[in-house]
Amino acid sequence: MKLDEFDRQIMDMLQKNARITIKEMAAVLTLSATPIFERIKRLEKNGLIDKYVALLNADLLGYKMVAFVQISLSQHNLKEVTAFVDRITVFPEVMECYHTTGDSDFLLKILVKDMDQFNDFILNKLSNIENLGKVKTQFALSTRKRTTEIDL
Amino acid sequence: MKLDEFDRQIMDMLQKNARITIKEMAAVLTLSATPIFERIKRLEKNGLIDKYVALLNADLLGYKMVAFVQISLSQHNLKEVTAFVDRITVFPEVMECYHTTGDSDFLLKILVKDMDQFNDFILNKLSNIENLGKVKTQFALSTRKRTTEIDL
DNA sequence: TGTGAAATGAGGCTCAC
DNA sequence: GTGAGCCTCATTTCACA
């Protein structure tokens, strides 16, 4: 799909603030409401705009701990890898899961309330999955940047 | 701030779809529009709802590469750490930056279009920062899960 | 084919109870 | 917490370039 400068600006405004009104966008872009509306619908239809979400404050909700878990599997064929992914991604603690290059096979980003919940995740959820090799955890002392905004 | 089951359900619906209407929420919760509206405003005011954003499809925008960069600093005092954070977080390629435990000091999540852009980031942006120790990169072969939804 | 102006309807928001 | 009503904005229609 071909994108022009208007499309990019519309996406950029929406990814910074999904509650911006079409009128407000019209004031910035020199364009009236209708074409902006139609461009948004087109961007949604083509999947460039994936979804609109509210971002919650994890800290205020008691989620105080972010951990990165590097995992090596003992078997690396397609079937084993798929089985692992299917089992690990259902856990709500798993915010992100990447199949990676390097020493380990997978990198998980885990969000939990405290060490107790992390411990429970490792012992009662992760460890029940077969085919696990090495597991190495790294904790976040602090989050210094976290954005969903793509550079346009 | 005290949260009840209604608050949690409202946040959960909004973090899944920020475009849901108050009427639709009212149909699910057995509650009329006004109290839902007031609860949302209260959640926003207290910071539990941080912001509303559109999530864009990075792949369709040409951003094909996710990398994780582990960085050790050669100096670890507060001043040096802060200086590093201030310099690294301004780059749009840096989607996330965590100060971490473990072998390295920082973990960056980098989003770029291709290897050229990654190379440019490493050589012309990251490498210009003083105080760098070891840098170790891991690429994502594929993203198997990625969510902004917190378990409520 | 794509834009701007005007009409319509739905939903956010306020108020009295 | 409920229901009525205002009012803005999203959405549609249509004329025009």
Task: Tell me the Cα Rg of chain B.
Answer: 20
* pLDDT given at position B11: 97
Q: Considering CB atoms only, which of A58, A103, A150 is closest to B56?
A: A150
With CA atoms as reference, the chain B residue closest to A7 would be: B61
User: Mean pLDDT for chain B?
Assistant: 96
Of A31-35, B59-63, B88-92, B139-143, give the lowest mean pLDDT range: A31-35
- Give the residue carrying structure tokens 């942006």: B125
- Beta-carbon contacts of B114 under 8 Å, excluding residues fewer than 6 positions away, are B64, B65
A53-86 pLDDT per residue, tens: 999 999 999 999 999 999 999 999 999 999 999 9
Distance separating the N- and C-terminal Cα atoms of chain B = 15
DSSP secondary structure string, A36-81?
HHHHHHHHHHTTSEEEEEEEE-TTTTT--EEEEEEEEES--SHHHH
DSSP secondary structure string, B44-103?
HHTTSEEEEEEEE-TTTTT--EEEEEEEEES--SHHHHHHHHHHHTTSTTEEEEEEESSS
A vs B: CB pairs below 8 A: 199
CA distance A12 to A21: 13
Percent of chain B with pLDDT over 90: 98
B4-57 pLDDT per residue, tens: 999 999 999 999 999 999 999 999 998 999 999 999 999 999 999 999 999 999
- pLDDT tier at B134, thresholds 50, 70, 90: very high
User: Does any CB of chain A come closer than 8 Å to the CB of residue B51?
Assistant: yes
Counting as low any pLDDT under 50, the low residues of chain A are: none
Inform me whether the pLDDT recorded for B1 exceeds 90.
no
How long is the CA B8 to C1' D9 vector, in angstroms? 28
- Tell me the pTM: 0.95
Chain B partners of A14 at a C-beta cutoff of 8 Å?
Answer: 53-54
At residue A116, φ and ψ (nearest 5 deg) are -60, -45
Mutate to test the interface with B, among A81, A111, A121, A147 (most CBs of B within 10 A): A147
Inform me whether the pLDDT recorded for B144 exceeds 90.
yes
How long is the CA B23 to C1' D8 vector, in angstroms? 17
- Does A50 contact B61 at a Cβ distance shorter than 8 Å? no
* pLDDT given at position A145: 98
How long is the CA A26 to C1' D16 vector, in angstroms? 20
Chain A partners of B18 at a C-beta cutoff of 8 Å?
Answer: 18-19, 52-54
**If residue A13 lies in a helix (H) or strand (E), which one and from where to where?**
helix A5-16
Percent of chain B with pLDDT over 70: 100
B52: β partners: A54
Whose C1' is closest to the CA of A33: which nucleotide? C4
- pLDDT tier at B2, thresholds 50, 70, 90: confident
B106-122 pLDDT per residue, tens: 999 999 999 999 999 99
Of A27-31, B10-14, B67-71, B101-105, give the lowest mean pLDDT range: A27-31
Q: What residue type is assigned to position B121 of the chain?
A: F
